[in-house]
Every structure is written in structure tokens, then in C-alpha cells.
Amino acid sequence: METAFAGVKVLDLSRLLPGPFCSMLLADFGADVIKVEDPKGGDYIRWWPPLLGKNSGFHVVLNRNKRSLTLNLKNQAGKDILLQLATKADVLLEGFRPGVMDRLGLGYEVLKEVNPRLIYCAITGYGADGPRAQRAGHDINYLALNGVLSHSGPSGAPTLPGVQIADLGGGALYAAFSIATALFARERIDAGQYIDLAMADGALTWNCLRWGQYLGDGVVPANGDGFLNLGFACYNLYQTRDNRYMSLGALEPQFWKLFCDTVGRPEWNQPSYFEPGPHQDELRAQVAALFREKDLEEWIRIFATVDCCCEPVLNMEEVMADAQVRQRNMVVDLLHESWGAYRQLGIAPKLSRTPGSINRHAPELGEHTGEILAAIGLDEQSLQQLRRDGVI
């Protein structure tokens, strides 16, 4: 089948998580993503343990479907090669601090001169301007500064999420959406554009419900204060007898009634179940005591045919074996000539006419340097010289 991004060429200079996840999404749907890496070590995430073969398991997941080109961008010959590649590229993605690419002589103003249709996406922590523009940061800092942590977790202290919300939700997903948007717009305006994407900005918008609540009631949101962040008994996590957890999301009256009837506690089904107040603490304690009476597997059996939004908290091993996950092809069994058999994450969006696919394992460092540079006219003698000079 035709792929959605067939013919789209992406130069990905990013490292670690946000940029590579973004370019993985593009590659999954057919973009030719060239991962441009420093010859001396490449993307740092390649070497983070635990390893699968010679590469990090993180790299194996994040950089599938891509080709790897090593290129020293501090060397003039390396800069010249990137400029040449940029003339034929559709997208350039980078994750440096603001100004780094300009100092290398490879910023947007330079690149758009050689390719006016180029879409240049810069993922940064805080954006291209503002008082924090040059400040270092990580996911935890962005979430702290934009308020997400202030209302996350139970009452008493903020809780750090188990996944990187700012990196992935605020950065990678917005970047992929922005690039797709710019590609769509280019068909009408016949020009590329610059995308200034701050992870802190993107994650800030994930506050949309709490933002709206604050607009309405004027009460500063806090952790454990609302029906969606462990403040209500009907929407919470409960420990089982064997120290596992069940998730209860019985927000709507019909779900709460069914839950109460299923566990033999119809007296809990009162209008106050969905009202804030100190009674929520008492109700939550009663529900918690109930869940501690049985092991996780017993609760799974009890709620297997009861449609009241009560599900087990699965660990990663259990998720990979889950029937729903398997049916949706969210676990893909692959075989690598060196690593052996492994399980790759599947592709979440299911497009009927232009579906995504996994066609390449994550590349070794510089695995495709020769073929990429040969395609722009460099012969073997030139490649050998570039290697001797430390350019590739």
C-alpha cells in the first residue's frame, strides 16, 4: 500500500527522546528519516543500558525505520554535506538549545536560502525566546514549571508520572502534528516554515481541564483535590490483598451503581458519591478495605463481565501478553540477525488506506552513511578521505 509520507525526506539531528520519537512516527508512515549523528558516539541514548545486542533497548524502540548517517557538523566539509542534503529534504528536525544551529552556520535563515520549501522544526525546552530560553531542563522541570506536577498524585505531595509527559506529549507529538500541518500548508502556500516548539509550552496545554476549572471556580488546583486526580472514591487506585492494584473509574452514575451492586454494597450508591467533601475520605477508605479482601486475580474474575470501568493495573510483562494489546498489533514480534528475537512497540494509529509499518530495525551507528552520501554523488575515494578527516 502507498504510505502517507511516501517521498518525504527528513533530516533528524535530534537526540535522546522527544525528537527521535517524533521522527519515528514520521518514519512509521513512510518518511525517509536520516538520523544524522556525531561520528564519535552518535545519539547518547544508543549506549544507555540495558543493551539489546550492541545498542540500548531505548534506541531499538525509538529509532526503527530510520537510516543512520554520521556527520561532524563542526567540520566545514560536514556542514557542506548537510547543506547539500538539505536542498533535497522536506523536513529538518533538531533539538539543540536556541542559537546552536545558527552558530554552526546551519540555522533556518541559511537553510531556507538553499531550500525555501524546507520545514524546519526546533524542539527546545522553553522555546526560542523568553527568560528561560537558554536554561537547561528535563521533563521533570517542564512539568514542575507549567503546573502539571502541582495537581498530580494524591493529597500531600506531587507525584512524578511514570512516562515523560513533556518530552512525548508536549514535544514529540506536537512536533509530529506541526510537521504534518506544515507539509499540508506547503501544498497551498508553496513554502516551508520554521516551527518553534517548546516542550514546556506543549505540556502546559495538557492542563486544559484544570485550567478550565480554575477559570470557573477561581480555586487554585491542587493534588488530590478533584474527581480525576484521586480526590473521589469512584475514580481511584486500590491495593489488593496480594499488594497489586485495581483501577476504578466509575464516574458516571450507571457505572458506579453497577460497581456497588457487583461488590454487594448498594448503600454506597448515593448522590454524594460524586460530590466533593470530607465524606469522600470515608468512602474511599471503605472501598480500599473492600479491595484488600481479595487478590488481584480474584478481582479480575469478578469484573471480567461487569462493564463498570474497573480494571487491573498491569505491569509491562503482562501488557505485552495482553489479548487486547496483541489483537491491536501493539506488540510486534521481530527477528534481528544479531540481536535475535525481540518485541517491538506497535503503531497506534490504524489508517485504512495508508497504514504505518515497521520495515527496518533501528540502525547501527553510521550504518547507511555510504549509501546516503553515494546518492548525492560522493565516490568511494571521497568517502575514505572524509573518514580520515573525521567528517564521517
Q: Which residues are designated catalytic?
A: 138, 167
Q: What are the two backbone dihedrals, phi and then psi, of residue 310, each rounded to the nearest 5 degrees?
A: -125, 110
Centroid of chain to Cα 337: 28
The DSSP secondary structure of 254-276, one letter per residue, reads: HHHHHHHHHTT-GGG--GGGGS-
Residues in the chain: 392
- Three-class SS state of 51: strand
Task: Give Cα separations from 336 to 192, 340, 344, 392 (angstroms).
Answer: 38, 5, 11, 26
Residue 162 DSSP one-character state: S
Grid cell listed for 110: 541559511
**b vs e for 154-167, b when ≥16 Cβ sit within 10 Å of the residue's Cβ?**
eeeebeeeeebbbb
User: Which residue, among 363, 279, 384, 268, has the nearest Cα to 63 in the 3D structure?
Assistant: 363
Distance from C-alpha of 236 to C-alpha of 248, rounded to nearest angstrom: 5
**Residue 157 to residues 145, 148, 150, 234, Cα–Cα distance (Å):** 15, 13, 8, 21
Q: Is 92 helix (H, G, I), strand (E, B) or coil?
A: strand
Integer CA distances (angstroms), 191 to 92, 112, 147, 204, 318, in order: 14, 9, 36, 29, 47
Rounded Cα gap, residues 241 and 85, in angstroms:
60
State how far the Cα of 35 lies from the Cα of 358, in Å rounded to an integer. 16
How many angstroms separate the CA atoms of 276 and 340, rounded?
A: 54
Report how far Cα 15 is from the mean position of its chain's Cα atoms: 13
